[in-house]
Amino acid sequence: MLAQVKKLVGAGAGGDFAGRFGAWWDGKDYVPPVPGEEGANDAEKAGKADDKTDGKSGKKSKAEVKPEPEPEAKAEAKPEPKLKPEPQPEPEAPALAEVVEAAAPAAVESADACAMRIQALETLWGEGRFAPGSTDLDTKLLDAVLEHADKPGDIGFIGADGALLGAFAARSDRLGVAAEWRGGCVARLQDLAPKATVSACDIDRPKCFPDHALEGLVSIEAFAYSDHKAGLVSRAHRSLSDTGRWIFLDTTRTTNKTPPEAFASAWAEPQLTSADEIEELLTLAGFRSLRKVAMTEMVLDAARAGYAHLSSVLEAAATNGLAGREGALFLQELAWEAQSWRARIRALEGGALEVNLWIADKTETLDLTQKALADEVLELAVQPDDAGASDALFDKE
């Protein structure tokens, strides 16, 4: 398989990309090829030849000893420039985070790079998906927002992928209004979800939502990448109707630091916060009811499902003739995304990160257990009474 990937990447990738990816996938340390093996052998041969000529030409022992270091210096001088730079590729190899950080701005500016990145993401996670997801996860999001949407109104989306928008269109006749902040994704979402209205907006200022017009709002990782979180919450609250509901799936940290390697392939620099800080912002904005449901295991299952067919994805890419610059970009994005999520999975499994589904309502909602208890008390209170009690309660003239 790696031989096919090597042919696919070709000389355009540079830095022995196939070798680095193969070593990472096998769980081994990357060992760069020694560029001067043949040159070093030639140097050794040249040194031996010099030794022979010195032995034949010199009669004076002192003269023979002095010139001997010269061939050795020449032999060492040839491999030294080649051998010393060998450690240089290793800073590129570790986790590929540094390469991602350096190449991300150029990738965002290039339409071809964006297209290859989206193709790589959908290849790894499934058609219409820009991150790990599943039908069960989409169903939970849509159930939570549609069960509360009793009044007419549109449903807003922030950071949704094409699969979620398509699932919404299949379940509801309401208009889906999507605010998209990730570069290069607007056109792809319009292709995947033609029934939705997709607009390019800042993540913390989704201005495409009219005031008090949305009956529901669904967002994915909006808090994770929003720099101005108070502005995001304020705009979401203002966009919802008086009975509106905000459903959002977000990653939060449980420690003081965010592991950067877990977001090396992200669309933007992560701005993770804690669950307590999110709850405080929602309360200050005026949301009257807040609920939080743990979704870490469901997200982990979706990520593992993507990894399960990664090797077959690489083989298919090699046999489908994706070559040249496009092939190199595709494999590069695929490797970055796979390695980044590999680190994120470890952080989620270790408890440094967690994923929750939040339900924020602008009105008070009665808890289901309290509602059941209230119904039982009411039923007991209106049991049929005997005739004497009935006469006493209702005077008859």
Domain at 260, CATH number: 3.40.50.150
**Span 178-217, pLDDT tens digits:** 999 998 899 999 999 999 999 999 999 999 999 999 999 9
Confidence of residue 261 (pLDDT cuts 50, 70, 90): very high
Which token pair is 99?
A: 């390469």
Q: Please name the residue ranges forming H helices in 66-184.
A: 69-77, 79-83, 89-92, 97-109, 111-125, 135-146, 162-171
Q: Is 104 among the domain residues?
A: no
Phi/psi of residue 67, each to 5°? -70, -20
- Residue 43 above 70 pLDDT? no
Q: Is 31 among the domain residues?
A: no
Which token pair is 253?
A: 């940290």
* 25 contacts: CB under 8 Å, gap ≥ 6: 310, 311
* 237 contacts: CB under 8 Å, gap ≥ 6: 246, 285, 286, 287, 362
Q: Is 200 among the domain residues?
A: yes
Instruction: Choose the weakest-confidence range: 132-141, 149-158, 224-233, 359-368.
Output: 359-368
Q: Is 10 among the domain residues?
A: no
* 368 contacts: CB under 8 Å, gap ≥ 6: none
Q: Is 167 among the domain residues?
A: yes
Residues in the chain: 397
Confidence of residue 224 (pLDDT cuts 50, 70, 90): very high
Confidence of residue 339 (pLDDT cuts 50, 70, 90): very high
- Does the reported pTM lie above 0.85? no
Rounded to the nearest integer, the mean pLDDT of the chain is 76
Which token pair is 133?
A: 């997801």
| Amino acid 332: pLDDT | 87
- Give the pLDDT mean for 297-324: 82
Provide the number of structural domains found in the chain: 1
Q: Is 58 among the domain residues?
A: no
8 Å CB contact between 243 and 276: no
Its domain, for residue 174, covers 112-366
* 35 contacts: CB under 8 Å, gap ≥ 6: 82, 86
Q: Is the dihedral of CA 225, 103, 123, 351 positive or negative?
A: negative
216 SS3 class: strand
Most confidently modeled range among 22-36, 60-74, 76-90, 287-301: 287-301
8 Å CB contact between 225 and 199: no
Q: Count Cβ atoms below 10 Å from residue 267 Cβ, excluding itself.
A: 20
CA–CA separation, 240 vs 43, rounded Å?
Answer: 76
Q: Is 21 among the domain residues?
A: no
Q: Is 85 among the domain residues?
A: no
8 Å CB contact between 220 and 159: yes
